[in-house]
Amino acid sequence: MESPTPADPSELEELYRLLAAVRQLDTAAVRWQRQGIIPGYAPLLGQEAAQVGSGYAVDPTRDFLFPTYRELGVARAVGVDMVEYMATHKATWHGGLYNPATTHFAPIQAVVGGSVLHAVGWAHGQRLAGPGEDGYNVALSYFGDGASSQGDVHEAMNFAAVMKAPVIFFVQNNGWAISVPTERQVAGGSVAARAAGYGMPSLSVDGNDVTAVLEATRQALAHCRDGGGPIVIEARTYRLGPHSTSDDPGRYRSLDEEQSARRSDPLAACEALLRTRFGTPDSFFAGALAAAEAEAEAVRQGLEGLAPRPGSEMFDFVFQEPTPALKAQAAAWRTESEHV
* Residue-wise pLDDT tens digits, 257-278: 888 888 889 999 999 999 999 9
Q: Which residues, other chains included, contact 282 with Cβ-Cβ below 8 Å and sequence gap of 6+?
A: none
Q: What pLDDT is attached to residue 231?
A: 98
pTM of the predicted model, to two decimals?
A: 0.91
Tens-digit pLDDT profile for residues 135-144: 999 999 999 8
- What average pLDDT score do residues 16-36 get? 97
Q: What is the pLDDT of residues 223-240, one digit of tens each?
A: 999 999 999 999 999 888
Question: What per-residue confidence (pLDDT) applies to 124?
Answer: 98
Flag the least confident range among 95-99, 162-166, 219-223, 335-339. Answer: 335-339
Q: CA angle, corner 172, sides to 274 and 16, nearest 5?
A: 20
Distance of CA 88 to the CA centre of its chain: 14
**52-110 confidence digits (pLDDT tens):** 999 999 999 999 999 999 999 999 999 999 999 999 998 888 788 999 999 999 999 88
State mean pLDDT over 141-148: 89
Q: Would you say 207 and 50 are in contact if contact means Cβ atoms under 8 Å apart? A: yes
The band of 339, judged by pLDDT with boundaries at 50, 70 and 90, is: low
Q: Which SS3 state, helix, strand or coil, does residue 333 take?
A: helix
Pairing of strands 180-181, 176-177: antiparallel
Whether residue 42 contacts residue 311, with contact meaning beta carbons closer than 8 Å, is answered with no
What is the per-residue pLDDT for 7?
A: 62
Quote the mean pLDDT of the chain: 92
29-68 exposure pattern, b = at least 16 Cβ within 10 A, e = fewer: bbebbeeebbeebbbbbbbbbbbbbbbbbbebeebbbbbb
Evaluate whether 32 touches 300 at the Cβ level (below 8 Å): yes
State percent of the chain over pLDDT 70. 97
The pLDDT of residue 186 is 83
Specify the pLDDT at position 311: 81
For residues 16 and 285, what is the distance between their CA atoms, to the nearest angstrom? 9
pLDDT digits 0-9 by tens, 195-214: 999 999 999 999 999 999 99
Tens digit of each residue's pLDDT (9 = 90 or more) over 236-256: 998 888 889 988 888 888 888
For residue 2, what pLDDT band results from cuts at 50, 70 and 90?
A: low
pLDDT for 1: 62
Could you tell me the pLDDT band of residue 150, with boundaries at 50, 70 and 90? confident
Q: What b/e string do you get for 192-211 counting C-beta neighbours within 10 Å, with b at 16 or more?
A: bebbeebebbbbbbbbbbbb
Q: Which of 222, 66, 70 is nearest to 146 (CA)?
A: 70
Report how far Cα 79 is from the mean position of its chain's Cα atoms.
13
Candidates 100, 136, 132; CA nearest to 221 is 136
Domains of the chain: 9-309 (3.40.50.970), 310-340 (no CATH)
Q: End-to-end alpha-carbon separation of the chain, Å?
A: 61
